Amino acid sequence: MIPFNKPYLTGKEAHYMYQAALSGKLSGNGIFTKKCQAALEAKYGFKKTLLTTSCTDALEMAAILIDTKPGDEIIIPSYTFVSTANPFILRGATVVFADSGVSNPNIDTALLESLITPRTKAIVPVHYAGIACDMEKIMQLADKHGLFVIEDAAQAIDSSFNGRPLGSIGHLAAFSFHETKNIIAGEGGMLAINDDRFVERAEIIWEKGTNRSAFFRGEIDKYGWVDIGSSFLPSEVIAAFLYAQIENIADIQQQRKHLWEIYLRELSSLKDRITLPFIPEYATNNAHMFYIVCQDIAVRQALIAWLKERDVYAVFHYLSLHKSPFYHDKHDGRNLPQSDYYSDRLVRLPLFYELTEEQVLHITGSIKEFFEKN
């Protein structure tokens, strides 16, 4: 069976994890945490980064940093993972769901302003499949209405909008290093801070609400509890694993993009039967995911079953959050047809570093065979 995902090891992970163990500090914010943060800040121009135990935790930090309160409204796409919504729900906010666009699953910026009210506090665009949302329009709306922008860049490492790295444009951004992402740590994430107003407080929230980091830098004589916070920072073992991945990101990206291009080339002949990924002129492709969109849910389910019979594990993705058992009775009742469209029709195909060209050709050949016979 060709799996949907297989975590890739560069060869240095265990070595760095051993170094972390020998360093005498395993609890986090040590040598490898600092190396990861410095490398990503230098490469992508983030003002400050803080490693977290997950992208969910990074979003929870962002919700705290913008002082999310009951009564606030946060605009997010319905077609996303629950982690985009949960941090704001936990702070008592109301989530206002936005529809996806026609060309790809990203938030429909043409409809965005109609969702803004005096209670709106933030917009959280999700860069689906690592393809940029229209950040120019989103930032213009945010400036016009005095809103925060938090980029959910869980899938978007090493991708950009008009030459600017994703995660460096909004006031805050959250990344994921889950084992299904381009660079991984098993579980792990990162908060990117691009607004000076949040830099000092972010570090305090990250350190359980204490100013301990400032103490360790010798900036204060003693540290104490000065704000709310939690245990958001990962262990040095996780950071050490991640650092090996960061060192090899160029090689990882080159291989993923190569496989992505084979998918595109081989499936282009089916463009009258399926919809292929659309990348706007302002966006780049980080090859996080290769997906296709089928004509309807019946075709989607039949194709997934067909591929499974041929030892290929392909999967669908999100169910629209506005129809979820938890939130459907809290939703304002608006139809979000494009979100439901992708929920019913989108299929994700295997894409990982060690996937071979022969396996990609087997997958694409199986898809072609399915449509020839159906």
Can you give the pLDDT at residue 373?
93
pLDDT confidence bin for 219, thresholds 50/70/90: confident
Distances (CA, A) of 358 to 354, 361, 366: 11, 5, 12
> Mean pLDDT, to the nearest integer, of 94-105?
98
In this prediction, residue 107 has a pLDDT band, given cuts at 50, 70 and 90, of very high
Question: What's the average model confidence in pLDDT over 85-107?
Answer: 98
Residue ranges and CATH numbers for the domains of the chain are 13-247 (3.40.640.10), 249-373 (3.90.1150.10)
Query: Tens of pLDDT along 112-159?
Result: 999 999 999 999 999 999 999 999 999 999 999 999 999 999 999 999
pLDDT 10s digits, 293-329: 999 999 999 999 999 999 999 999 999 999 999 988 8
The mean predicted confidence, pLDDT, of the chain is 96
pLDDT tops 80 at residue 183: yes
* pLDDT tens digits, 250-287: 999 999 999 999 999 999 999 999 999 999 999 999 99
Say what the pLDDT of residue 202 is: 97
Identify the CA nearest to 124 among candidates 188, 173, 72, 178: 173
Q: Per-residue pLDDT tens for 194-211? A: 999 999 999 999 999 888
The answer on pLDDT for 330 being more than 90 is: no
The pairs formed by 15-22 with CB atoms below 8 angstroms and a separation of 24 or more are 15/244, 16/240, 16/241, 16/243, 16/244, 17/237, 17/240, 17/241, 19/240, 20/236, 20/237, 20/239, 20/240, 21/237
How much is the pLDDT for 214?
79
| Residue 212 confidence (pLDDT) | 82
Provide the pLDDT confidence category of residue 216 given band limits of 50, 70 and 90: confident
Return the percentage of the chain with pLDDT > 90, whole number. Answer: 93
Side-chain-side CA neighbours of residue 58 (13 Å): 31
Residue 120's pLDDT is 98
Res 184 pLDDT > 80: yes
- For the chain, the three-class secondary structure string (H helix, E strand, C coil) is CECCCCCCCCCCHHHHHHHHHHCCCCCCCCHHHHHHHHHHHHHHCCCEEEEECCHHHHHHHHHHHCCCCCCCEEEEECCCCHHHCHHHHHCCCEEEEECECCCCCCECHHHCHHHCCCCEEEECCECHHHCCCCHHHHHHHHHHHCCEEEEECCCCCCCEECCEECCCCCCEEEEECCCCCCCCCCCCEEEEECCHHHHHHHHHHHECCECHHHHHCCCCCCCCECCCCCECCCCHHHHHHHHHHHHCHHHHHHHHHHHHHHHHHHHHHHCCCCECCCCCCCECCCCCCEEEECCCHHHHHHHHHHHHHCCECCECCCCCHHHCCCCCCCCCCCCCHHHHHHHHHEEEECCCCCCCHHHHHHHHHHHHHHHHHC
Instruction: Tell me the percentage of the chain whose pLDDT exceeds 70.
Output: 100
Q: Note the pLDDT tens digit of each residue in 57-86.
A: 999 999 999 999 999 999 999 999 999 999
